[in-house]
Amino acid sequence: MAELCGLKYEDIAVGQEIPSFSHKFDRMDAIIYAGAGGDFNPIHTNPYFAKDVAMLPDVIAHGLFNMALLGKTVVDWIGDPGYLKKLSCQFRGMVIPEQTVIFKGKVREKLDGNLVVLDVWAEKEDGSEVLKGGEATVFLP
């Protein structure tokens, strides 16, 4: 039987940071995510629409794409997708092609029942917010 989760509740310390994940957003990411996620809003895929109609600097990443990468960052830490119990965040900054986003997390609290609550967020290299006020709750054996 393969053990997916390598972490133990007792080994986790409040204030501990989880490994961050960094991703440079490419316009193909949004085209692929549109198909996979089913959100074909042209602000994510069509640079002419994004600039000339929506008055954006370029196409922007889907919020739910950024949130999925945030979820991946937490699951990469715990190992087992079934142990992610809750994930939330606010969508703040826009991400345009060639911008790098860094996904981060830090243990806020340990609860009864082997639950660990983390602050999670995402920011660009200049420190500006992409995902703010996020919270993840994970179960650890």
Binding site for another protein (CB under 8 A): 1-2, 4, 23, 29, 32-33, 35-38, 63-65, 67-69, 71-72, 75, 80-82, 84-91, 133
The nearest distance, CB 55 to another protein, in angstroms, is 11
30 vs 59: CA distance, rounded Å: 8
| Cα separation values, 47 from 29, 54, 56, Å | 14, 10, 9
**Any residues with CB less than 8 A from the CB of 11 and at least 6 apart, and which?**
none
Cβ 14 vs Cβ 93: under 8 Å: no
Burial category of 126 from C-beta neighbours within 10 Å (exposed 0-12, middle 13-18, buried 19 and up)? exposed
Q: Which is nearer to another protein, 15 or 38 (CB)?
A: 38
Q: Which is nearer to another protein, 67 or 130 (CB)?
A: 67
The nearest distance, CB 104 to another protein, in angstroms, is 16
The nearest distance, CB 79 to another protein, in angstroms, is 9
Q: Which is nearer to another protein, 15 or 46 (CB)?
A: 46
Q: Which is nearer to another protein, 13 or 45 (CB)?
A: 45
